[in-house]
Amino acid sequence: MSEERVTILTRKDLDISYFKGSGDGGQKKQKTASGVQIIHRETGAIGRASDTRSQLQNKKLAFKRLVESPKMKVWLNRKIFEIRSGEAVLKRIEREVERSMAPENLKIEYF
């Protein structure tokens, strides 16, 4: 069975915001907006990180936490099920069309 990549989550589905970190890290962390919060609009799932002083690293962590959240896991599983169910329906339709188009099922009339 071959694998096919399907995009079910895009940047448009997310709200990404940045904030100033708090806690250990000194003034640099408290002056720069290195903290990241990612919200998936449809589910309300949230991933948040301010662990490091790097905004990029925090963004990766926040996205990882978003995907690992229970709300997001349920949503992803539902989407995967919908895609697989849709593929099964398409395969059934293709088989039916193929069967219907077999020479023994066609009637040709000449006028």
Q: Report the alpha-carbon distance of residue 54 to residue 12 in Å, rounded.
A: 23
Instruction: Determine, yes or no, domain membership for 5.
Output: no
What percent of the chain has a predicted confidence (pLDDT) above 90?
39
CA 49 from centre of chain:
19
**pLDDT per residue over 21-66, tens digit each?**
666 655 655 677 889 999 999 999 999 998 888 899 999 999 999 9
Instruction: Determine, yes or no, domain membership for 54.
Output: yes
**Cβ pair 36, 56 in contact under 8 A:** no
**Cβ pair 66, 75 in contact under 8 A:** no
Instruction: Determine, yes or no, domain membership for 35.
Output: yes
Instruction: Determine, yes or no, domain membership for 110.
Output: no
pLDDT of residue 71: 94
Domain CATH number, residue 18:
3.30.160.20
Average pLDDT over residues 100-107: 79
Instruction: Determine, yes or no, domain membership for 64.
Output: yes
Instruction: Determine, yes or no, domain membership for 109.
Output: no
* Domain total in the chain: 1
pLDDT of residue 32: 78
What percent of the chain has a predicted confidence (pLDDT) above 70?
86
Q: Sheet containing 46-49: which strands, arranged edge to edge? A: 14-19, 35-40, 46-49
Q: Report the alpha-carbon distance of residue 12 to residue 10 in Å, rounded.
A: 5
The model carries a pTM of 0.68
Bridge partners (DSSP) listed for residue 40 = 14
Instruction: Determine, yes or no, domain membership for 92.
Output: yes
Strands 14-19 and 46-49: unpaired
Instruction: Determine, yes or no, domain membership for 97.
Output: yes
pLDDT of residue 107: 76
The domain containing residue 45 runs over which residues?
11-103
pLDDT at 12 over 80: yes
